[in-house]
Structures are given as structure tokens and as C-alpha cells.
Amino acid sequence: MRSVVIDAPGSVRVDTRPDPGLPGPDGAVVAVSATAICGSDLHFYEGDYPIVDPVPLGHEAIGTVVEAGPEVTSVKAGDRVMVSSVAGCGRCAGCATRDPIRCHAGPLIFGSGALGGAQSELLAVPGADFQLAPIPDGLCDEEALLLTDNLATGWAAALRADIPVGGTVAVIGLGAVGLCAAQSALFLGAATVLGIDPVPQRRDRAAAMGATPAPPSATVAAMEHTGGRGVDAVIDAVGSDTTMADALTAVRAGGTVSVVGVHDLQPFPFPALAALVRSITLRMTTAPVQQTWPQLVPLLQSGRLSVAGIFTTEMPLDAAADAYRAVAARSGDVVKVLLTP
């Protein structure tokens, strides 16, 4: 099969690898029909994470089951499915909450070295009854693909931000996750969502979705829009030292900072005293993907929540190197790339 791999920072190629077999009696093999590049994939591409051996990339995929183990009961060969980007064992008390992050064996993420990469023609999926779900009626491929990670992440970020109805929220980083978080915050009752991003076209894209374009500094934007009080909540979809520090100063006393951006491997110099005396709540999470599906699927099916405009570009899998260069440029034209094997 063909699979996108990274050998070193900036060095992405399409490799030919053996077809995967069943990863156990509770597993399945999925023929990937669509996959995508996530902002967190750039941590390998830009050298934030070490690469010892070539790493098959990608953790977002939808496709068709080609083989299912004898213990799999929820899907069968021929079913079109979406694959949770985060995997759990599916059998423990933690997984019973439908949150793979709570898996007692420890969660695994596709495309990070522990499991195969979703940017491939075939993907071996352990614990298929937990990781896979049939693509519901009425959902397009783009919606289903966003449910595997970005929309689930943006939704979780907004839920954990303690957004008061009628409140003001700043969203830092208007890539796919940030745009999904902005949409989610508005749906959950925010009156104003400030869209923070250094790229003007990305701010314009957020404005088209109902956000208020704001200066690239969350602190400046927050103080301008609240008379110096600070916003009720900040969602950080970048997760760098700069953005997290900005978030902690932009939020009002007693407010919440919800971080879903992926940090690098260096310690963050947390301003503990300032956060303590201002009674700031800090929440950080990887999306509980499976837990969000019962909430998000009906909202997408009804049209009450829209993700139109998140995907900007479609390219074949063989053009993965060009696709990664385009995503890494962080332009206003390319926000989210869909790859088709």
C-alpha cells in the first residue's frame, strides 16, 4: 500500500509499505477513502518531535471496512466508517466513558508511531467496536472527516471553556480546530467570539462564520472589546508559549482558559502566581472523540451546526509533500487539506 511517511523535518514522501493485517480478533482493516492533514502533524514536519525511524503520518480518516475480526460486532466488511483519531482499548472503565484519553492502558494516536498512519491506503484499527462508527446518513465526507478529530476537538474546547450565555470568548488560532471552536462557542451561547490570528484572510474566514475579527494579540483584542476587563473565556487552538501566555492575560479574573493546541516538548513557564491571585481556571485536553459523536452528529444532520468552509483544498495522496508545504505556510488560502488515496 501507499503511505505518507516523514524521515526528517520537512522531508515527507509517499512510501510503499506492506498491507496491514488484522490487529487482533477485535480489530478491523479500513480502506481509506479520505484523510487530512492536521495542524498537529506539523510538529513532526517542523522538528518539534524527534524522528528516529520513518513515521507514517496522519490520524484523521474515513473509509470502508475491508476486514473485521471475529469479535467485532458493530461494523462489518463493506461498511463506510469514520475512525477516531484517538484510540483506547475499548474494554476498561475509562473507555466506558467513551473518552479514549481515560483508557487505563493509555490512549494511542494514529500517525504518531504507536499505530499506523491514516494518510495511507489501508489502516489497521484495533478495538474496532470502540474506534469505528458507521458514517451516519446525511453527512458528507468532509463532515465525517472533521468528526474524527478537528470538530470534536473544537467542540470539546468550547465545552470546557465555561462559556456563559451572552459572554465573550477569544479564540486564538483560526486553523481548522480554531474555526470549529469558534462555531461551537457561538452555538453554545457566546454573544461575541473574537477571532485571533496573524493572517488577515483567516480572520475574514472566521468573520464569515459569525466571529468578530480582532487584532492578532488576544490581550489587546480582549481589552479593547471589554473595556479592560478581559474576556470570559479564551480557547487556545495553537498551544505555544506565546499563545498560552497571551490567553492567561486576556481572560478576566475568574475566567477560563481552554487549551487544545498541541505544545512542543519544552516546559511551559506557567505564571502560577498571577493565575492564582486572579482565580484563573486552566483546562487542557485532547478531544474525547467518541464521546462527542452523539452530540455532534445530530447537530450536523439538522444543519444547526455547520462546518462549511473548513476544508479549503483537496489533493491526491501522491501530492502529500506539496500538501504539507502548503499547510505549513499557514496562508489564508490553505486552511485544511483533504487527501484522497
> In the predicted model, is pLDDT for residue 182 greater than 90?
yes
Question: What is residue 77's predicted lDDT score, i.e. its pLDDT?
Answer: 98
- Is the CB of residue 31 less than 8 Å from the CB of residue 64? yes
pLDDT of res. 155: 98
Q: 154-284 has which CATH code?
A: 3.40.50.720
- Per the prediction, the chain carries an average pLDDT of 97
The answer to whether 237 and 176 are in contact (CB under 8 A) is no
- Predicted local distance difference test score (pLDDT) of residue 273: 97
Quote the CA–CA distance of 326 and 252 in Å, as a whole number: 36
Mean pLDDT within 256-273: 95
User: In this predicted structure, what is the pLDDT of residue 160?
Assistant: 97
CATH fold of 2-149+288-339, please?
Quinone Oxidoreductase; Chain A, domain 1 (3.90.180)
Q: What is the DSSP string of 287-316?
A: --HHHHHHHHHHHHHHTSS--TTS--EEEE
Residue matched to cell numbers 507514517: 56
- Contact of 188 with 158, CB cutoff 8 Å: yes
pLDDT digits (tens, 9 = 90+) for 31-58: 999 999 999 999 999 999 999 899 999 9
Query: What's the pLDDT band for 230 if we cut at 50, 70, 90?
Result: very high
What average pLDDT does the segment 216-222 reach? 96
Q: Is pLDDT above 90 for 19? A: yes
Q: Among residues 135, 132, 148, which one has the least CA distance to residue 69? A: 132
Integer Cα distance of 45 and 328 in angstroms: 8
Across 159-179, average pLDDT: 98
Query: Per residue in 291-325, pLDDT tens?
Result: 999 999 999 999 999 999 999 999 999 999 999 99
Confidence (pLDDT) at 330: 94
Give tens-digit pLDDT for 91-108: 999 999 999 999 999 999
Q: Where are the domain boundaries for CATH 3.40.50.720 in the chain?
A: 154-284
Q: Where in the chain is the domain with CATH 3.90.180.10?
A: 2-149+288-339
Per-residue model confidence as pLDDT tens digits over 118-159 = 999 999 999 999 999 999 999 999 999 999 999 999 999 999
Tell me the pTM: 0.96
Residue 169: pLDDT above 90?
yes
Residue 114 has pLDDT above 90, yes or no: no
